[in-house]
Structure 1
Amino acid sequence: MATTGQDKTDQAGHAAPLERAERDLVALGILVAAIFLFVGTGSTVMTGIVRSWIYGVGSPDVLLTNALILNIALLIFGWRRYAELQTEITERRKAEENATRLARTDALTGCLNRRSLDEAIAGLIDEAAECNEGVAVMMIDLDKFKRSNDLLGHKVGDAVLVETARRIEALMPPRAIVARLGGDEFICAAIFATGSESAIERLAVRINNGLAEPIVSGGLRAEVTASIGIAQGAGGAVHSSAQVAQDLLHRADLAMYQAKRRGRNRFAWFEQSMEKELRFRGELEQGIREGLKRGEFVPYYEKQIDLESGEITGFEMLARWISPRHGMVGPEVFIPVAEEIGLIAELSETLITMALEDAKAWDASLTLSVNISPLQLRDPWFAQRLLKLLVAANFPPTRLEIEITETCLHENIAVVRSLITSLKNQGIRISLDDFGTGYSSLAQLRTLPFDRIKIDRSFVSSLARSADSASIVEAISSLGRGMALPITAEGVESAEVLSALRRFGQFKGQGYLYGQPASAEAVRRELAAQGLLTSVTDSDPAPETPNARSA
C-alpha cells in the first residue's frame, strides 16, 4: 500500500509535498506578519493607553486599538497553527519511519525481509571488499516445521519462528545480517576474513545446536532442527555487488537442499556439482510432466513363484520410464521426484488402470501386486478411487494385492489402519512390503489386518553367505507361521539362495532367478505358451499401452 501511495504521489508531480510546503509557508507568513504588526501598532497603542491612564491626556486611537486586538488574535492563531504543523510534521516523520521499517523488515520476527535482503547483502559485500575480506551466506530451513505447526498450532509455530530468529541473531558475529524469507526459511550473512572456512563451519554448528534446543510456548514443547546451506564469495570488478549477492543466495539455497538430502540437522557447503544436479533435476521434473502426457511410463511385471511347486502365482507391477532422452529409467530415479512435485497419484493410478487391463487377460488364478506410495496412504479417498478403477476395469478385487512398505506405518497409524480396513472390506488383499527394514512392532502386525509379509531383498539375496541374514529370515518365517501370515521372499537371485530359503518353510519367491521384469506383451506371450491366458491369445495380442506406476 505504501508503494502504491508513493506511485500516485510521483505521478501527480509530488503534489502532496508541495501542498504541505505551501500551507507551511502561509502559516509561517501569517505568524511573521502578525509579529511585525504587533510591534508596529502595539507600541503606539500602548503609549496612548499609558498617557491616558497616568496623565489623563488624550485617549487611545480606537482604530489602532481594534487593529492591535485583531493582531493579537492573529498571533494566537498563527502560533497555534505553527504548533499544530510542528506536531503534524513529527507524527508524519514517525509514520514514514514506521512505514520504511515495515517495508524492510518481517512483521513477525523483526528480521530483514526478502525485499531488503539483496541490498543488505550487497552492502556487506561492498564493505568486505574495502578490507579484502569475503562474505559468507547461510540459508537456514527448519526441518519438518510444517508438521510441528500442524500438530501444535499456528500460535506455537509463530513462537518458534520468533525464537529461532532471536537465537540466530544472538549467535551471529559483528557485521552480520539476519533475514526471514518467509515460512520457515531464514538467511544470515556475515563478513569473514579470507580463509576462515573453519570459523564459518563452527558458526553453522552453533546454529544447528542452538536451534535444536526445545522451544516451550503456552505449555507446549516444540522441537525443530535446521538444515543449513553455506556459500562464500567476495565482490570484484567483474560482477556487481548485487549480482554477487544473488549468486550467493542461489548457491546457499542449493547447498541447503543438499543438507536435507544428507539427513537434515546439518550443514553443507555449496559445490559446483550442485548446479549440474539442479539442472538435471529440472530436466527430470519437466520430463516426468511431459512423459505422463505422452504415455512414456509403462508397467513391467516381475514373476511371483510358489517355491515348492515352481508355478507362477502372480506378478508384481514395476514402473519403468522409457524416456526418449534418457532411455529406460528405473523407479528409484523418478518416483521420489514425482512424489515431491505432486504427480505420484496421477502416475500411480494411471499405471494401475493399465495394469488391470493387462491382468484381465491372465488366468484367474494369477494375482496382480502393486506398490502404493506413502503419500497416497495419506489420502482418505484413495480406497474409493482404487475401487472405482477396479469397477471400471471389471477386475475382481480378490486378485489385487496392495503392497505397503513397513516405514509407511509410522506416517499416521490411524489413517493407515482405516485405509487397510476399507481396502480389505472390498476384498483387496494387503501385504507388508520390505519387512525387516523398518520398525514394525508385533502389536502393529497383530492389530493391522495384513494378509502377507514380504521379506526385504537385502536379507534374501545375502542368505547363502551371511549368517545374520539367515537368522533374520528364519525369525521372520517363524513369526509368519505363528501369526498365520504367508510370506513372500524378494531377491531370489541364485540357486544357492533358493536352496537356503527352502529350509525355512514354504514361501512365495520373486527375483532374477526367475527372469528379469518384463513388458506386458512379453508376459502375455509367456503366459500364452503355458496356457495361462483367458480372453487374449498369443496370435491376437492386444497392443501394449504405456502407463505409469509408483514403485
Structure 2
Amino acid sequence: MSEGSKTFREAVSEKFSRSRKPERDVVALGIAFAAMILFVGTGGKVIPQLVAAWRGIAVQPDLLLTNALILNVALIILGCNRYRSLHRELLARRVSEEEARRLADIDPLTNCYNRRSFGPAMERQLAAARENGRAVSVILVDLDNFKQVNDINGHSVGDRVLQTAAERMADTLPADALLARLGGDEFACSVFHAPSNRDGIERLAARLIDRVGKPIDTDDLSIDVTISVGIASSDIVDREQGAPASPQQIMQKADIAMYQAKKAGKNRQFWFEPSMEYELRFRNELESGIRRGIAKGEFVPYYEQQIDLDTGKLVGFEMLARWHSPDLGTVNPDIFIPVAEDIGVIAQLSESLIAQTIEDAKQWHPSLTISVNISPVQLRDPWFSQKLLKILVQHNFPPSRLEIEITESCLHDDIGLVRTMISSLRNQGMRISLDDFGTGYSSLAQLRSLPFDRLKIDRSFIREVHKSQASSKLVDAIVSMGDGLDMPITAEGIESGEILAALKRVGRLKGQGYHYGRPEPAEEVTKRLAEASLLAEDADPAPAPAERHSAAGLA
C-alpha cells in the first residue's frame, strides 16, 4: 500500500477516533472534598483524645465528635467511589458517542467518507485551495454493470468488489485527496491541483480506470469490473457561475460528465462541458413531457399506406406514432420511443396507441389491415399477448386484421421467449412480421423455426435497389428466400418511381414509402378512404348465419 493511501486512511481514522476528556462529576467531588475538610476539622480534636484514651492517660473522647469523624470517613469513601464510578461511565458514554459519530460519517463497508461527511470535508478543501490559488477537481466514479455482478454472484461478492475498488482507488490517489462512497456503486474523489494542470487530472483518472479495472479474485471467481468517470474542476465551475461553487454544484457537474461517459460506452472518462448540461436538461424535460403527454393524450397514431405493387391497390396501413407536444411541436418516434423505453412507459404508450389505432381501423373497409410495431421491451413481458387480446376484445376488433411487427434485434435477446410470444399471438389470430430484415441479427435457422407470416426488407436496401447492383442482388436473394419459406415480402422506403419500377421486376411484393404519400393522421386517412369507397359502410353486408351455413353446405 502506498504512503498516500496510508495517510488518507490514518487521517480519516484520527478525525473520528479523537475523544474529548469526559466531564468531571463536580457534585461527587464536592462531597468528597467537603468531607475531607470536616475530617481535618474534627480529626484534629478527636484523634488526639482517642490516642490519649488508648494510652490510658485521658478520659473517653467526646462521643458526638467521634461519630462525626466516622461519618466523615464514610463520606470520603462514598464520594471517592462515586466519583470513580461516574468517571468510568462518562468515559464509556463519550467513547460510544464518538463511535456513533464516526459510523455516521464513515461508510462502514469501505471505510471511506460517506455522502454526509464528504460535503463538509470538501468544503474545507475548497477553502484551502482558494486561499493558495489552487483548484479542486471532483472525479466521480461509477462501477459499470455492478447490478449484474450482484444479481449473478450475490451481495457478498458485490461487497468484496466494492471494498477492493475502494482500496485500489485509495492506493492510486495522492495523500491529500478525499475519497467517499456516495452510495451503491458510486464513489467521489476530490483532488488538489494547479488550475493549469488539467492533463495531470486526466492522467490520474486514466490510472484509476486502469487499476480498478483489473480482475478482482474472490471466492474462486474472477470478476471483471470497469468504471465510468466524470470530472469537474472548481475553477471551471466558478468561472461558469461567476461565483465560488459549492461542493454539491461541482459534484453535480461531475455527475453529468459521468453520465456522458456511460452514454458513450462506459469504461472511459469525460470532463464536464456546459453543452452536456443543456443536453441532460433537455432529456429531463423530454422525460417529463412524455409522462405528461401520455396522460393528456398527446400521442396519436399516423398511418402510412401499404400497396400491392402488382395491382397498385391499397391493402392496409402501418401505424406510426407521433407526439403532438405543446412545447416541441410534432415529434417523430425516433426521438421519444428510446426515451419511453428507458423510463419504463413504453408499454403504457404503445397500448394507448394500439387502442386508438383499432378504433380508427374499425371505420375502414374490413379488407384493410393495420400493422403496429412492438418494442423489444414489450416482448419481454410474459403477459403481453393477453394484454393485446384484451384490447382487441374490448374494442370488438378481429385479430386477423392486425399485424404485429417485431424487429430483428428482438431475436438477439431471448429466442425462446420470442418464440413463445409469437406462437401465442398467432394462436389468437394475429399475423407476425419480421421488421427491418437484413440488418444482420437473424439467421436462416431462426427464420425456419420461428412462425413468421411476413418479412419486411429494411429500407437501407430498398433505397439503392435501382442504383446499386449489390443492393439489387440482395433484394432478389431475400425475395427468393421468402418464396422458399412461403413468407410474403414487404418493401419499406419506396420513395420514387425508379425504386418502384425496380421492385416490380423482382416479384410480387407489398410496399410502402413516401412515393405513395407521407404518413397521415386519422382524419386525412378517413377522407382518402371515403373518396375511394373504402370505409366500413361501403363494405358488403355480412351474410346471415343461415346463408353462411347454406353456402358452406354448397361448397
Q: Name the TM-score, length of structure 2 as normaliser.
A: 0.82
Return 30-39 or 75-84, whichever deviates more.
Answer: 30-39
Task: Give distance in 1, aligned partners of 2:421 and 2:188.
Answer: 41
Q: Residues 6-155 of structure 1: matches in 2 within 5 Å? A: 24-41=25-42, 55-58=55-58, 61=61, 63-155=64-156
Q: Residues 273-422 of structure 1: matches in 2 within 5 Å? A: 273-422=275-424
Count of matched residue positions in the alignment of Structure 1 and Structure 2: 515
SS at 2:201 equivalent: helix
Q: 1:110 to 1:404 in 2, by over 3 A?
A: farther
Task: Give distance in 2, aligned partners of 1:335 and 1:311.
Answer: 31
Q: Which digits, 9 at most, give the CA deviation of each residue in 1:72-104, with x for residues without a partner?
A: 333332222222222222222222212222332
Task: Give distance in 1, aligned partners of 2:538 and 2:162.
Answer: 62
* 1:429 and 2:426 are equivalent in the alignment: no
Task: Give distance in 2, aligned partners of 1:155 and 1:45.
Answer: 74
Q: Which digits, 9 at most, give the CA deviation of each residue in 1:272-303, with x for residues without a partner?
A: 22233233334333433333344332211122
* Counterpart in the other structure of 1:440: 442
Q: 1:383 to 1:135 in 2, by over 3 A?
A: same
User: Does the aligned pair in 1 maintain the 2:378–2:384 contact within 8 Å?
Assistant: yes
SS at 1:353 equivalent: helix
Flag structure 1 segments of 5+ consecutive residues without an equivalent: 1-19, 538-551
Q: 1:450 to 1:259 in 2, by over 3 A?
A: same
User: Does the aligned pair in 2 maintain the 1:296–1:321 contact within 8 Å?
Assistant: yes
User: Does the aligned pair in 2 maintain the 1:361–1:536 contact within 8 Å?
Assistant: no
Q: Which digits, 9 at most, give the CA deviation of each residue in 1:359-409, with x for residues without a partner?
A: 223333322111122332233322222111111111111221222222233
User: Does the aligned pair in 1 maintain the 2:25–2:87 contact within 8 Å?
Assistant: no
* Counterpart in the other structure of 1:212: 213
Task: Give distance in 1, aligned partners of 2:431 and 2:60.
Answer: 116
SS at 1:535 equivalent: helix
The letter for the 2-side match of 1:382 is: F
Q: Residues 429-468 of structure 1: matches in 2 within 5 Å? A: 429-437=431-439, 439-466=441-468
SS at 2:230 equivalent: strand
User: Does the aligned pair in 2 maintain the 1:229–1:253 contact within 8 Å?
Assistant: yes
Q: Name the TM-score, length of structure 1 as normaliser.
A: 0.83
Q: 1:395 to 1:80 in 2, by over 3 A?
A: same
The letter for the 1-side match of 2:403 is: E
Q: 1:474 to 1:44 in 2, by over 3 A?
A: farther
SS at 1:263 equivalent: coil
* Counterpart in the other structure of 2:19: none
Q: 1:352 to 1:49 in 2, by over 3 A?
A: same
Q: How far apart are residue 134 of structure 1 and its match?
A: 0.9
Q: 1:74 to 1:409 in 2, by over 3 A?
A: farther
User: Does the aligned pair in 2 maintain the 1:49–1:59 contact within 8 Å?
Assistant: no
Task: Give distance in 2, aligned partners of 1:124 and 1:510.
Answer: 63
Task: Give distance in 2, aligned partners of 1:479 and 1:171.
Answer: 58
* Counterpart in the other structure of 2:550: none
* Counterpart in the other structure of 1:182: 183
User: Does the aligned pair in 2 maintain the 1:308–1:506 contact within 8 Å?
Assistant: yes
How much identity, in percent, do the aligned residues show? 56
Q: 1:389 to 1:471 in 2, by over 3 A?
A: same
CA-based RMSD: 3.2
User: Does the aligned pair in 2 maintain the 1:174–1:190 contact within 8 Å?
Assistant: no
Task: Give distance in 2, aligned partners of 1:471 and 1:58.
Answer: 138
User: Does the aligned pair in 1 maintain the 2:454–2:487 contact within 8 Å?
Assistant: yes
Q: How far apart are residue 236 of structure 1 and its match?
A: 6.8
Q: 1:529 to 1:287 in 2, by over 3 A?
A: same
Task: Give distance in 1, aligned partners of 2:444 and 2:218.
Answer: 36
Task: Give distance in 2, aligned partners of 1:29 and 1:468.
Answer: 104
The letter for the 1-side match of 2:264 is: R
Task: Give distance in 2, aligned partners of 1:91 and 1:336.
Answer: 58
Q: Which digits, 9 at most, give the CA deviation of each residue in 1:449-485, with x for residues without a partner?
A: 3333333222332344456545654554455445444
SS at 2:113 equivalent: coil
| Bigger relative CO (Cα 8 Å, ≥ 6 apart) | 1
